[in-house]
Amino acid sequence: MVSHSELRKLFCSADAVCFDVDSTVIREEGIDELAKFCGVEDAVSEMTRRAMGGAVPFKAALTERLALIQPSREQVQRLIAEHPPHLTPGIRELVSRLQERNVQVFLISGGFRSIVEHVASKLNIPPTNVFANRLKFYFNGEYAGFDEMQPTAESGGKGKVIKLLKEKFHFKKIVMIGDGATDMEACPPADVFIGFGGNVIRQQVKDNSEWYITDFVELLGELEE
């Protein structure tokens, strides 16, 4: 067990901070919003709950949910235009404070790149710092599956991305922040995991996190001290 003061020191000296997106950086679960928009909300949110609880392998859950939703390119674009995701209070300030300190900020999501890039643009995070799943469409815009080669399409994918970032950029300390089991599993290779329960509390994550917060103001406070 690392003491809380050591965790705080690690957070304040990290050279990269990675955020999960759904229910962490934004208030919604992107895939559930897409399902709602496409009229299959109930069946899909039950599957999301099972996947987040770690009961179903991630790729299987993603395949199953997308097969139900069958989102077209136009539906995805309309979702972003008509129901843009809501940023979690405090995230904009936290990201900009980290960037002022020359900390690299990454978004690592099991959600969809088109939605996550929209969120990244609101936070001044470059698209090169976004890791998420790519939806595929036929030339007529109909759903054609997703890119199964993305590390984020796999169980354990967030950890693979962090390992890749360490190898590529030689980061000494990476912090992972998120609400779900897949985020917690990314530490290690992340050096610190901070559980986030500001939008939804997942008991398994709350019980097993050495550091658990429900408001980003707490992390902003750490950086100000």
Q: Which residue has the tokens 């990675």?
A: 18
Whether the CB-CB separation of 220 and 90 falls below 8 Å is answered with yes
H or E element, residue 35: helix 30-37
Tokens 């658990």 sit at which residue?
212
Which one from 20, 32, 179, 183 is the annotated catalytic residue? Answer: 20
Best CA proximity match to 187, nearest among 214, 166, 203, 201: 166
Active site residue 20: yes
22 is catalytic: yes
Cβ-based neighbour number of residue 166 at 10 Å: 17
**Using CA atoms, how far apart are residues 55 and 168, in angstroms rounded to an integer?**
32
Residue from 22, 32, 183, 191 carrying the catalytic annotation: 22
Active site residues: 20, 22
